[in-house]
Amino acid sequence: MYRMLREKLTLKIKKEDFTQFNFLIVPDDTTVIANARDGVENFIKTYFEGRVLKDDIADNERFAIISQLYNFNVTSKIDDETGYLVLYR
């Protein structure tokens, strides 16, 4: 894997790999997609309090938010102590 990343090679993932390696298929969320159209700053204001994801967001919506952050080139992580989704900006 390291060599593939270092040499910028393509990683081919087959449908069977999703099950074997526990990959998630991120479902489309129309609300997240609509909010993303307003731009990265408004998107973050909609879903985050400071750098932390707001409470009461369903898992599927959270996965779509993480995917959209990736598309916006915004780094985030799940804090290992609190379990919160945190932005790094």
Q: Answer whether residue 47 is part of any domain.
A: yes
Task: State the pTM of this model.
Answer: 0.77
| 5 belongs to a structural domain | no
**If the chain, 89 residues long, is cut into consecutive pieces of 10 residues, what is the mean pLDDT of each piece?**
75 81 85 97 96 93 95 94 90
Position 31 in a domain: yes
Task: Look at residue 2 in the predicted model and tell me its pLDDT.
Answer: 72
Q: Please check whether residue 39 lies inside any domain of the structure.
A: yes
The DSSP-derived string for 18-74 is: HHHTTPPPPPP-HHHHHHHTT-HHHHHHHHEETTEEPSS--HHHHHHHHHHHHHTT-
Structural domain count of the chain: 1
**Is 70 domain-assigned?**
yes
Q: Is position 9 within any domain?
A: no
Structural domain that includes position 65: 23-88
pLDDT for residue 20: 84
Q: Is 83 among the domain residues?
A: yes
In a domain, 3, yes or no: no
The pLDDT of residue 44:
97
